[in-house]
Each structure stands twice: as C-alpha cells, then as structure tokens.
Chains A and B, each alone.
Chain A
Amino acid sequence: MTFSKIKDALTGLKSLAIGLGVTGQAFCAKNVTVIYPQEELGNLSTYRGPVELVGKEDAPDVPKCVACGVCGKACPSNCLTILSLIPAKEGEINSGPTEMGPAPQKGAKTPGQFILDFSLCSLCGQCVKACAHNALRYSNNPYMVSVNRGDFRLDLLARLRRRARD
C-alpha cells in the first residue's frame, strides 16, 4: 500500500523530468516561425490555396473545364457559380451564357463564367475531388490580402488567362 504509493510518486517524478526534457529540447531547437515581411516560405507546392482552373496542355489559357457543374453541386457552401457557354452551330447565333440547367446540351462546352466566392469557401476540396476532368486544383498562392470583400469574388477564368500570360 505505502510502497505502491511511493513507487507512484517516483514514477510521477520521473515523468516530470521527462516533461522538462521535452520542453528543454524544444527550447534549444530551431524556431519554426517565418517572420513574414523579412522572410518568405520557399516551397509552397503542398500549400492548399484557393482553387484555380487548370489549363489545357496545348493551350494554357483555355480551361480543361467542360462546364458540367458537378463541382458547383459538390460544394457544401455554394461558393462556385458556373455559367456554360454553348458554342454556336453553323448558321446560329450564340445563345450566350446560360445558368447551369439540368438538361445537358450537345456539343463541346466551355465555361463562359467561373466565379469562386472565396469569402464563403472553406477550402474543403470537394470541388477538386468531384471534377472528372481534373480541371480544378488548389493554387499555391498564400498571399491574398484585401480590405474589400468584393475582391474575394474571384473570376477564375480571368485568373487562368492572367497566369497563362505571365
């Protein structure tokens, strides 16, 4: 009874010493903080920034996206707005962008407008997972700052074109 209590106390003391060792090692270890304006992170390949459209291999300013709208349906916070652009057949006038409807139309489609409202996005990645054409991916951009909420309504098509140009 008494001996077991003394044994408990001794193992407790030992664990306290181990705890001090752990924090002592952390004290001597290198800081992991990156002091931002003076330093920047080098490798961002695993960073999951706001999603972006993937361009075609032969034409980087044209999205792989076929405007099927699955990503928009998969999104739990409804932050994606996709308007499909139906290419005009010969002799017809382009009908212009239409809101995604249930009835798919024939012919290859491209998005006429692809808006991500980043102020709603929680970066869950359901859209990236849902896309059958690998047309969406996480961007590597950690530096997105604004004081204006409207700036977070991202026009992904424009961003894709800008990226292809740069």
Chain B
Amino acid sequence: MNAFHLLLAHPAVRLVLWLVLMFAFIGLNVLVLVWVERKVAGYVQMRPGPLHVGPQGLLQPVADAIKLMGKQLVTPAAGDKVLFWAAPLLAFAPVTVCFLPMPFDPRFNPLPMNLGLVLILAFSGLGVVSLCLAGWGSNSKWGLLGAARAVAQSVAYEVPLLLSVMAVAICAGSLDLYAIAGHQGTWPWQWYGMRNPLAFFIFLVCAVAETNRAPFDLPEAESELTAGFHTEYSGMGFGIFFMAEYANMVIVSGVAAVLFLGGFQGPFLQGVWWFILKIYCILFFIIWLRWTFPRVRFDQLLNISWKWLTPLALLDLALAVVVAGLRA
C-alpha cells in the first residue's frame, strides 16, 4: 500500500494515469454527445431521434463507431500522403493535452501549473493547422476551400476570444484555472458570467465559431463544399476529425464553465458533479444553437468578428482593467 502511494506521488505516474483517464473521458463524452446531438435534433424537429439501438437509442453512437471503423481508408492518389494522414492525428493530439489543466475538482489537481489557461488556448490554436493540412493534403478543391475558410475564421475569432478571456483573467488575477474557479463564489451571482455578461456572450459566440459548429460551420459546409476539409477522408480518418470536434466542444464548454460559471463551485453538490453539469448545460446550448440557426455567409461571418465582437471585446477589456484597478 505504501509503495502504491509512493508511486502515485510521482508526477510522471500521475501524469500518465491522468492522460489514460482523460482518453477514456473523451471517448465516453464523444459517444454521449453524438447521442445528445441526435436526440436534441430529433426533439427540436418533433421526432424522437435514435430509438431502436439499445434503450432510447443509447447504443446508436457505438453502432456508428463500429461502422466507421469497418470502412476502408482511402488516400487520394494525387494528395500528399504524409500531410493527409498527419492531419487527423494532429487534430486529435492537442485535445488530450487541453484536458490536463481542466479543474474537475479542487481536491484533485494532477498537474499543478499556473498557466493552465494559456496551455489550453495555445494547444487549441493548433487545431486549425490540422484543418489546413487536411485541406491542402487531400488535393481537392473542396478541401482547399474548406481549409482556407477554416484559417480565416480561426484568425478572426481567436482575437475576440482571447480578449474576453483576458478580461476574466485580469478580474481573477490568475491564469491558473483552479485559481480562477476558486476566486468565484458558490452562488450564481458571484460568478464572472454574471459580473461580466458581455465577455461571457463574446466567449460563447467565439467558442461556437472556433469549434466550427453551426451557424459558423463554413469550413465543412455540406451544401457548398460537400464536407469541406474532410471531404476526402473515409472511415476512421473522418471519425478522428469528428471525435476531435466533439472533444473541442467539451474543452470550450469546460473553459467557459470555469471562467464564467464558477467551475466546480456550487451549492449542495460535490465539485466534479457541478463541473460536469455546467459543461453539459453549455454543450446543450451549443447544440440548440446548431438546430436553430442557418449557416451565415462568409462575409457576414468575418463582419461579425471584426466589426462587432473585436471592438466590443476591447471595450469590455478596458472596463475590466478599470474596475480591477479601482478595486486594487
């Protein structure tokens, strides 16, 4: 028992354990999210959604995954094979790192670091490189157009996203997600989302755009670009992009929950349950958005970011700085 505790105390062992746990968490969440997405889509359209595979269709995502794994992997003959297959791996690899500083519970901090927020933002920024490589490597006009859109969109929405995050970080005086969550109180009116609703709004819009979700799903617009950057991917090649998209959704929801909804803070329940509940509330909202709004046009997409969100975020940041300065 003592030897076991000693082993657990070693940071490398904890890191590996945490990574394995996170892989399981991501896999499970992707399956659940696919089911939630299809159920919500169904209910919004007044139909029941998946129903027949397992109880209430719960095993439908498993059936989908098995189907995807059974499919042949095709590489375009004219494509760049190395880039083509590097792209899905590059899409998924940063996702696991982004879960490392996620504050699930204050009593459990596997890898204490004071720059968790920066780590997440840096690694999630890598995601767009994989989309770019996927579009370029498949040597297809759909893929290339999708990749070009992905890059323009990512550049446009990263700016207001970072500005809104900075407003909160200045308020909390820390970049450690555990500390930011800890700074907020137990009750909803003590959360930064209530104190700074403009930053919360900007963050949510940018989060939807950064994860390429409808109504900002231009890089994979089915009706214009067949599937955009992943047009040429079959089977699990597509499956990994799909998983990465859903895992990215969990990450942005997690960050939003920490920054604006108090993270693990909440009355009555244990920390981790509050955190997961908040993540799923935000995820539900993102899915609800997808089944409500039509896709925006590309110039509209860029206008929203550069003409509205960026100036608003700058204004919000200035206000946050003044308020923080007055309090100090």
Q: Which A residues have a C-beta under 8 Å from some C-beta of B?
A: 9, 16, 19-20, 22-24, 26-27, 29-33, 35
Contacts and interface: CB of A to CB of B under 8 A. Distances in A.
Interface stretch (B74-82, B144-152, B256-264, B287-295): B287-295
A20 B46 contact: no
A20 B287 CA distance: 11
B43 A27 contact: yes
Interface residues of B, number: 15
A27 B44 contact: yes
12 contacts: A19-B293, A23-B288, A26-B43, A26-B45, A27-B44, A27-B288, A30-B46, A31-B46, A32-B46, A33-B46, A33-B48, A35-B48
B308 A35 contact: no
Interface of B: 40, 42-48, 51, 288-289, 291-293, 308
A30 B47 CA distance: 8
A29 B46 contact: yes
B85 to A, nearest CB: 39
B46 A26 contact: yes
Contacts of A31: 42-43, 46-48
Given A26-B46, A27-B43, A32-B47, 20 more contacts: A16-B293, A19-B292, A19-B293, A20-B288, A20-B292, A23-B44, A23-B291, A26-B43, A26-B44, A26-B45, A27-B44, A27-B288, A30-B46, A31-B42, A31-B43, A31-B46, A31-B48, A32-B46, A33-B48, A35-B48
Question: Taking chain A's interface residues, is the majority helix, strand, or loop, or is none over half, making it mixed?
Answer: helix
The 9 closest A-B pairs by CB, nearest first: A23-B292, A33-B47, A27-B43, A23-B44, A32-B46, A31-B48, A27-B44, A19-B292, A26-B44
Nearest to A31: B48
A22 B288 CA distance: 11
Tell me which of B40, B51, B292 has the highest count of chain A C-beta atoms within 10 A of its own C-beta. B292
Contact of B51 (A22, A32, A35): A35
Contacts of B288: 20, 23-24, 27
Nearest to A32: B46
A24 B51 CA distance: 21
A32 B46 CA distance: 6
Interface centre among A9, A16, A31, A32, by most chain B C-beta atoms within 10 angstroms, is A31
A9 B51 contact: no
Contacts of B43: 26-27, 31
